[in-house]
Chain A
Amino acid sequence: MTLGPAAPWSSSHLRLEVPAHPDFVASVRALARSAAVLADLALEDAQEIQMAVAEAATLLLPLASADAGQHPALCADLTVEPGSLAISLSIASDSGSSIDTDGLAWVMLSALDPGVRVTEEDGCVTIGLRRFTRTTTS
């Protein structure tokens, strides 16, 4: 079987939900790297977005809500556009939970993405990242 010309994407949104456990963070990183390639980001940008995802997960995993029972989840929502990639990582957390902004993970995350956004809403803490391609081609 041969495939015809690639059709336009029907959606540019990807979602991955994994157990809120350190062993699964690599899966989220891998998806982020793949999405960065789809977005035509440079290799260095793809590496940095992977690092940013790792740091965001490091900040979120300790917040996993006890109410989530035995199966707390880390959710990754990615929006891929030509030349840009947006990633939101979120986790269900107990009321009043907040990320640790005094530690090394936050230092590195905010250095990798100075525009990082943290929101706490409806029992969920979300870290939003965005990366644009550094160069454009005609």
Chain B
Amino acid sequence: MSVDGRSVLAVRGEVDLASAHDLVLAATPADADGPLALDLSEVTFIDSTGVSALLAIWREGERVGRPVELIAISGPVGRVLQLAGVGDVFGLDG
């Protein structure tokens, strides 16, 4: 889905040890173009491997000049990002 010139990838369910790698693959296709927004409103669980996946996607975006933004971050997901100390990376601090 594309909204306001950026691709929006809706992430659903649990982002954990079993699924984090699939998320990275889905969010970093070889033919990616333009900014990417990850919609996390329907994420029901995330752990450190999920946080690492989000960081990997963000770093890949930095590498190829493709801005990555997290949108619709639920309370529990935001709390995990803060707990992991990466809230500032995704603009959650301050």
Q: Most chain-B CB neighbours within 10 Å: which of A50, A104, A107, A108?
A: A104
Query: Nearest B residue to A59 by beta-carbon distance?
Result: B48
Interface residues on A, range: 20 to 34
Q: Is the CB of B45 within 8 A of A57?
A: no
Query: Nearest A residue to B18 by beta-carbon distance?
Result: A22
A58 at the interface (CB under 8 A from B): yes
Task: Give the contacting residue for A58; candidates B49, B80, B85; CB below 8 A.
Answer: B49
Q: Is the CB of A54 within 8 A of B18?
A: no
Secondary structure dominating the interface of A: helix
From known contacts A108-B84, A112-B83, infer whether A51 and B47 are also in contact, taking CB-CB under 8 Å: yes
B-side contacts of A107, CB under 8 Å: 48, 84-85
Q: Is the CB of B18 within 8 A of A104?
A: no
B43 at the interface (CB under 8 A from A): no
A25 at the interface (CB under 8 A from B): yes
Cα of A105 to Cα of B85 in the assembled complex, Å: 12
Looking at the assembled complex, report how far the CB atom of A68 sits from the nearest CB atom of chain B, in whole angstroms. 19
Please, what's the 1-or-0 string for B35-60, where 1 marks a CB less than 8 Å from any CB in chain A? 00000000001011101100000000
B14 at the interface (CB under 8 A from A): yes
Q: Is the CB of A47 within 8 A of B83?
A: no
B69 at the interface (CB under 8 A from A): no
A122 at the interface (CB under 8 A from B): no
A-side contacts of B34, CB under 8 Å: none
Q: Is the CB of A25 within 8 A of B16?
A: yes
Taking Cβ atoms with an 8 Å cutoff, the residues of A that contact B are 22-23, 25-26, 29, 47, 50-51, 54-55, 57-58, 61, 103-105, 107-108, 111-112
Taking Cβ atoms with an 8 Å cutoff, the residues of B that contact A are 14, 16-18, 45, 47-49, 51-52, 76, 80, 83-85
Known contacts A58-B17, A104-B48, then 5 further A-B pairs from the complex at CB < 8 Å, ordered by chain A residue: A26-B14, A54-B47, A55-B47, A107-B84, A111-B83
